[in-house]
Amino acid sequence: MATFLYKIGRLAFRRRHYVALMWVALLTLAGVGAASAPAAGNSSFSIPGTEAQKAFDLLEQRFPGMSADGATARVVFKAPSGEKMTGKANKATVRDTVKELRSGSEVTSVADPYTAHAVSKDGTIAYASVKYKVSGMELEDASRDALKAAAQDARDAGLTVEVGGDALTAAPETGSSEIIGIAVAAVVLVITFGSLLAAGFPLLTALIGVGIGVSTITALASALDLGTTTSTLASMIGLAVGIDYALFIVSRYRSELAEGREREEAAGRAVGTAGSAVVFAGLTVLIALVGLSVVNIPMLTKMGVAAAGTVAIAVLIALTLIPALLGYAGRRIKPTGEKSRLLGGGRKAKAGKPGGHGKQTRPNMGTRWASFVVRRPVAVLLLGVIGLGAAAVPAASLELGLPDDGAQPTSTTQRRAYDLLSEGFGPGFNGPLMVVVDAKDSAHPKAAFTEVGHEIKGLKDVVTVTPAVPNKAGDTATITVVPNSKPSSTTTEDLVHAIRGKGADITSATDAKVLVTGSTAMNIDVSQRLNDALLPYLALVVGLAFLLLIVVFRSVLVPLKAALGFLLSVMAALGAVVAVFQWGWLSNLMNVEQTGPVMSMMPIFMVGVVFGLAMDYEVFLVTRMREAYVHGEKPSQAVVTGFRHGARVVTAAAVIMIAVFSGFIGSSESMIKMIGFGLAVAVFFDAFIVRMAIVPAVLALLGRRAWWLPRWLDRALPNVDVEGEGLRTAGDRHADRDGERELVRA
């Protein structure tokens, strides 16, 4: 592979005009496609195979036009102090608001509080239920604006009015966070390379890759039902790996220049060696993202595949556009150790080989740190493992769930509506359950409906059970159940399971099927689906990556160490998330207003994203060690060599990723805040504790055994030559032998 990529690098360097023109044409084509494609709404949300989804599908068939999965809103009214909602003036205001709400083009029904018995016992709080034709993710902005305007008109009349429900759900805006991340990335790259031009290449190529990927997603969004939220993950991951991969290639190019190679040769060797690491690092990310399909949630699958496509583009850009741009830059890209004139250039690093007799420069930080770890591997290993183990302890108390309006900041109208409904009608009123009774096969449907209602009333934690509402055919009915506990509580989850448990007995007695659905039941089913899929997903991703890394490193123990280190860092990151968002530690610092269950998507999302980035660092850092070892260095010296060349680049890449993810911590959305914090902490743990401390300590302890591979497996595996042995000339090998003799004399 190294030889093939070497040829690609040299070809792109020589034919840079054609390569640059090709990528500009692709970007233009994708942009034109995105601009001319029909506007797509948010993608539809379904969970095939779950009971809640089966009930939604049944309602679509038996209650035509009901829009069972349509968005809902609750406009909550509170009377001024000393007044009642039943007062004449307040009644008139509410009915004017109801009339205004009914005029919406996507509205199917609006329930008048006074005819729907939606006034609290003390008469101070009332609510109007609004139902829409489409889901909250598909609702047009005009409908949301009309809802807010109606609420504001009622406020102007003197009432306290808040709006809850999923009708106000909208994709969070993250543009400012991305800008902050790019700004931090620019600063880190300038410090790393000492050159504005060299620092600009990774940013430019990453933005081109993200531009092509996101534009393509936008162009296909309507046809493939990708929705506006699909591009969020693609842009975040594409930006992350795009900067990383370009950073690796440019860094290796400068190293090759420092060794005295001509620029075209340096570009070819950079792509042949660092490019090989980029290809396999990219493959691990693709495995992690495409593997999200095992969860069997269509929206998550589409997001994973779309992000994987953007990562593939980032790999191709790193292998072709980067060497082309290096060709354009010419001598303005300095070798490692030199700075541009703008940043104090003119000073050249003093040459000298470690172990030689020439005047030596002071070893860089990576060399000094690796030398320390090699001397004290046991102490470093124990400190790292114990530290991460302690951070992982809270993960044993992990509780998963999907947040509701009760997790919103108190400054939002959704949270205030939630609190008003809890005050007036009880906490369970914010998460009613919809029980669907399918009596098509029953001889006495009405009796079956009555029996179901009677059985549910006898269950613990039930406050209200409404009479059954049958369809026109009389073979299906819906029953609304109000729990005594809030929607995200384990008590409500137990009630859902209890109703479903009763369903088996009812079916045997009446031949009627009982299904539980509604947003609360759907959240419970989604959490269960994600929880059940976590271990299979982890096994698939880690297993395939383990096999891939065996091919890359031609070792069994190095990939095993990489996988175990990743698991340790992810568990530690989950422990930190539990401590902050579930236990409330440092909640004031993180501006966490409401603690509760960790978002059920968080573990599997963290595994997918962090695994890909962790393997990037592992492949780039350890391939330099493998390269040094294959070229004749002792195992301990190879570890130091790998850090001398790779630690600075990996550190820069990790700092950039932490900055990008940390930008999301400031979001007012609890889910976005949690994702940003979890990913930033996970990258910190994995890059600086696992890859920078535990990995060199383990390799130092294992010595030559780290690179052991059974002979039969060695013969069976393809030789991908990631370390670039096929690129070495007789002069390179002669120089290595001289270097070994110098080390022996030293």
Taking the C-alpha atoms of residue 376 and residue 281, their distance in angstroms, rounded to an integer, is 29
pLDDT of residue 693: 92
Burial class (CB within 10 angstroms; exposed 0-12, middle 13-18, buried 19+) of 100: middle
pLDDT of residue 744: 38
pLDDT of residue 66: 63
DSSP class per residue in 84-151: -TTSHHHHHHHHHHHHHHHT-TTEEEE--TTTTT-B-TTSSEEEEEEEESS-TTT--HHHHHHHHHHH
pLDDT of residue 441: 83
Task: Give the helix/strand (H/E) hosting 108.
Answer: strand 107-110
Tell me how far the alpha carbon of residue 39 is from its chain's centroid: 25
Q: Which SS3 state, helix, strand or coil, does residue 641 take? A: helix
Q: What is the mean pLDDT of residues 447-459?
A: 87
Separate counts of helices (H) and strands (E) for the chain: 23, 11
pLDDT in tens, 535-546: 888 888 888 888
Q: What is the mean pLDDT of residues 674-694?
A: 89
Q: Check pLDDT > 60 for residue 732.
A: no
pLDDT of residue 427: 85
pLDDT of residue 300: 79
pLDDT in tens, 473-485: 888 888 888 898 8
pLDDT of residue 350: 45
Q: Which SS3 state, helix, strand or coil, does residue 116 take? A: coil
pLDDT in tens, 207-232: 899 899 888 888 887 677 666 666 76
Residue 613 is encoded by which pair of tokens? 């980035």
pLDDT interval class at 452 (50, 70, 90): confident
DSSP class per residue in 408-436: S-TTSHHHHHHHHHHHHH-GGGGS-EEEE
Q: What is the mean pLDDT of residues 136-153?
A: 84
pLDDT in tens, 279-289: 888 888 888 88
Taking the C-alpha atoms of residue 458 and residue 686, their distance in angstroms, rounded to an integer, is 51
Nearest Cα residue to 671 out of 726, 597, 727, 564: 597
pLDDT interval class at 242 (50, 70, 90): confident
Nearest Cα residue to 672 out of 680, 664, 661: 664
**How many other β-carbons are positioned within 10 Å of the β-carbon of residue 502?**
18
Q: What is the mean pLDDT of residues 676-698?
A: 90
Q: Looking at per-residue confidence, does 157 or 230 come out higher?
A: 157
Q: Which segment of 224-238, 407-421, 583-597, 610-624 scores lowest on mean pLDDT?
A: 224-238
Q: Check pLDDT > 50 for residue 436.
A: yes
Q: Which SS3 state, helix, strand or coil, does residue 110 take? A: strand
- Yes or no: say if 106 and 143 are a contact pair by the CB < 8 Å rule: yes
Q: Check pLDDT > 80 for residue 589.
A: no
pLDDT of residue 725: 62
pLDDT of residue 41: 53
- Yes or no: say if 526 and 600 are a contact pair by the CB < 8 Å rule: yes
pLDDT of residue 667: 66
Q: Check pLDDT > 80 for residue 735.
A: no
Nearest Cα residue to 685 out of 486, 430, 376, 395: 395
pLDDT interval class at 460 (50, 70, 90): confident
Q: What is the mean pLDDT of residues 561-579?
A: 90
Q: What is the mean pLDDT of residues 10-31?
A: 93
pLDDT of residue 159: 92
Instruction: Supply the mean pLDDT for the chain.
Output: 81
Residue 347 is encoded by which pair of tokens? 């000073």
- Yes or no: say if 400 and 578 are a contact pair by the CB < 8 Å rule: no
Q: Looking at per-residue confidence, does 561 or 137 come out higher?
A: 561
Contacts of 670 (CB under 8 A, 6+ apart): 403, 407, 408, 409, 581, 592, 594
pLDDT interval class at 67 (50, 70, 90): low
Helices (H), 554-634: 557-577, 602-630
Q: Which segment of 248-257, 352-361, 398-407, 447-456 scores lowest on mean pLDDT?
A: 352-361
pLDDT of residue 733: 46
- Yes or no: say if 657 and 189 are a contact pair by the CB < 8 Å rule: no
Taking the C-alpha atoms of residue 427 and residue 703, their distance in angstroms, rounded to an integer, is 61
CA angle 495-517-410, nearest 5°?
Answer: 75
pLDDT of residue 685: 93
- Yes or no: say if 77 and 127 are a contact pair by the CB < 8 Å rule: yes
Q: Which segment of 118-132, 565-579, 581-595 scores lowest on mean pLDDT?
A: 581-595
Taking the C-alpha atoms of residue 472 and residue 259, their distance in angstroms, rounded to an integer, is 83
Burial class (CB within 10 angstroms; exposed 0-12, middle 13-18, buried 19+) of 460: exposed
Taking the C-alpha atoms of residue 221 and residue 234, their distance in angstroms, rounded to an integer, is 13
Contacts of 25 (CB under 8 A, 6+ apart): none
For residues 479, 482, 487, 491, the Cα torsion angle rounded to the nearest 10 degrees is: -110
Total residue count of the chain as it appears in this document: 746
pLDDT in tens, 334-375: 787 665 554 445 444 444 444 444 445 677 788 888 899 999
Contacts of 576 (CB under 8 A, 6+ apart): 391, 394, 677, 678, 681
pLDDT of residue 177: 56
